[in-house]
Amino acid sequence: MSVQLMCLTSGGGLPIFTRCKGNTENLPFSLIGSLNGVHMFSKSQRMELLSTVTNDYTVVWKELYDSLIFIGIASACTTEALTQVIECAGSAMVMVVGMDEIIAQRNIERLKRELRVCSPVIDRLLDCLDFGDANTNQSTISISGMVKTILTPENHLIKIVLDTFTECIDSMYSCVLIHGKLAVATDSWWTLHPTEIKLLSLLASAEGSSTTSKDTPVFLPFKSPKAAFRFVTCSLLPDVQVCCLCGPEQQLEEIENSAAYCFKSTMEILGSAVQCHPRNFPATIQLDAGILGVLLINVECRKYMMSKNPQPKRIVNGSHRLDILRTFYYQAVLDVLLSLREDVESTVVKETYWCSEYHKCYALKQHGNVLCVLYNANVPTMVMRSLTRATLKVFMAEKQFCW
């Protein structure tokens, strides 16, 4: 399984970057030029070349902002997932240099140097590309269009401190990340586009723990593509960061001091919250022994929490459980429970399920939340409904989650 992502100028076909993941080597420039030439020929004939599929690979062409051509090549990958990666990569480029620079392209070499900042973010996007089962050619980019979160019993306490910190720095946009997953955020932060929230989280975690704080100018691809904000991240603990968007008034040192002052009494709370990783919800919540994994989605705030049951199972391993849940979400839940098609708009569908020889899946939609549960095949089909309802009730009854 492999993927290559190439970006070229739309006008002259000059290469801007190439990123790879998996067991693959960079394509020779002649082949890249040929792939770009096919797209340019189609464009000259007033046709739009979108994609092609072979027995082993999927190739996608995508022109963004009338100035960039993206070419993605991947094995065991769907066209939709590869297109999502390309669109997110284009937004990441806008986030780093701004829309004006992307369109103008005054100096290609300088543009390439400036875009090195977003290389780790694009690499993380490729890491988010879940290839799934190569035999069925199913793949997704995480849960597309949604933000990954972590549920901790300390969320409500962290949220109180975060609001105080936000007032101190005279900003409305701030959040706390734990292992790169959103724990809590201000109301204004949730008004940002989901792609912006995802890219900011990736940018903060891509910087890693090498620095205690970072002050980076960013353009918000949807909210503010031409005017830059300051994106400031301060490390509170290893793998715990407080992030904010602010203007030029506050000095970095002042923001660091505010973060240290506001969060100094919560270090033990944050340390306890970190223990929820990688399960992504507290150990105090015990799931039924027949549950192999859960996917909890808030369709209104466009966020999700995904976890495998830590109890050892013989039927499927941890990563395969998550692949099954993702496939169930994209093939059944998205088209049935969350369908936006006009022909099913009046149909109220609240539940759906799958059954196979080795596992079963059940999904329930209730009050803006969707819970997908992966069950052991030994769980009786008629019991899945009540178990899913009880599991969702357990999550929603925990008011401290700030979900």
**What tens digit of pLDDT does each residue of 277-322 get?**
988 998 888 899 999 999 999 988 889 999 987 654 444 556 688 8
Is it true that domain 148-274 has CATH number 3.30.450.30?
yes
- Rounded (5°) CA angle 267-271-276: 145
41 to each of 37, 53, 113, 244, 363, how far by Cα in Å? 6, 19, 30, 45, 46
Radius of gyration of the chain (CA): 22
Do residues 55 and 43 lie in contact, with contact meaning Cβ atoms separated by under 8 Å?
Answer: no
91 vs 317, residue with greater confidence:
91
Is residue 233 within 8 A of residue 243, CB to CB? The reply is: yes
Amino acid residing at 336: V
The residue extents of the domains of the chain are 2-141, 148-274, 291-401
Is the CATH number of domain 2-141 3.30.450?
A: yes
Q: Is the pLDDT of residue 339 over 80?
A: no
Instruction: Output the pTM of the full model.
Output: 0.89
The reply to whether domains 148-274 and 291-401 share a CATH topology is: yes
User: Of 403 and 207, which is predicted with more confidence?
Assistant: 403
Contact between 144 and 301 under an 8 Å Cβ cutoff? The reply is no
> Is the pLDDT confidence value at 174 over 60?
yes
Give the residue with greater pLDDT, 314 vs 198: 198
- What fold does the segment set 291-401 form as a domain? Beta-Lactamase (3.30.450)
CA distances from 143 to 84, 216, 332 (A): 11, 27, 14
Going by their DSSP bridges, the two strands 359-366 and 369-376 should be labelled as antiparallel
Place of tokens 């000259």: 44
Q: In this model, does residue 207 exceed pLDDT 70? A: no
Q: What is the mean pLDDT of the chain?
A: 88
The residue-averaged pLDDT of 269-274 equals: 94
